[in-house]
Amino acid sequence: MKLKSNLYKDTPTSSYSHIAAGIRPDQGMFFRSKWEANYARWLNWLIEHDHSTPDKRVMSWEYEPKRYEWLGGSYLPDFKVYFEDGHIEFHEIKGRKQGLRKAKRFAKEFNEILIFVGNIPEAQIKYAPINDFGRRAIKDWE
């Protein structure tokens, strides 16, 4: 890890330029990457503008809610998303295939709905359209 000097001064980052771990002033909380911070902004936008589909209306979310452990492994999902109809999904932000196996094992072990968000073939929600919209419409987008 190295320290990256930017808006999130002296926060640890990886060598990947898209990563910027740190506290986001607009959200008042720590995120491990720009993608995760922006996805939280996207979820907040959906809630504030009541813009999700009627059968999938987002009511609230939690970031890294808890670590799930099983024999031989553990997993910390990025987002736990609560919907109006009562169902819950876990959303995992992935820019690379790294960690997919562990995430899929979590979904199987705990019988949870896991949605991949990102620019990988396995992603059910592609990040690029969210990013394009966010740059234009959502305050503090990175």
pTM for the structure as a whole? 0.83
Residue 95 clears pLDDT 90, i.e. is over it: no
**Residues in contact with 18: Cβ distance below 8 Å, sequence separation at least 6, in sequence order:** 33, 34, 35, 95
29 neighbors 44 (Cβ within 8 angstroms): no
CATH of domain 33-137: 3.40.1350
β-pair partners for 92: 116
Burial of 137 from C-beta contacts in 10 A (0-12 / 13-18 / 19+): exposed
Over residues 24-65, the pLDDT tens digits come to 999 999 999 999 999 999 999 999 987 766 668 899 999 999
* Rg of the chain on CA atoms, in Å: 15
CA–CA distances in Å: residue 83 to residues 42, 60, 88, 133: 15, 7, 6, 22
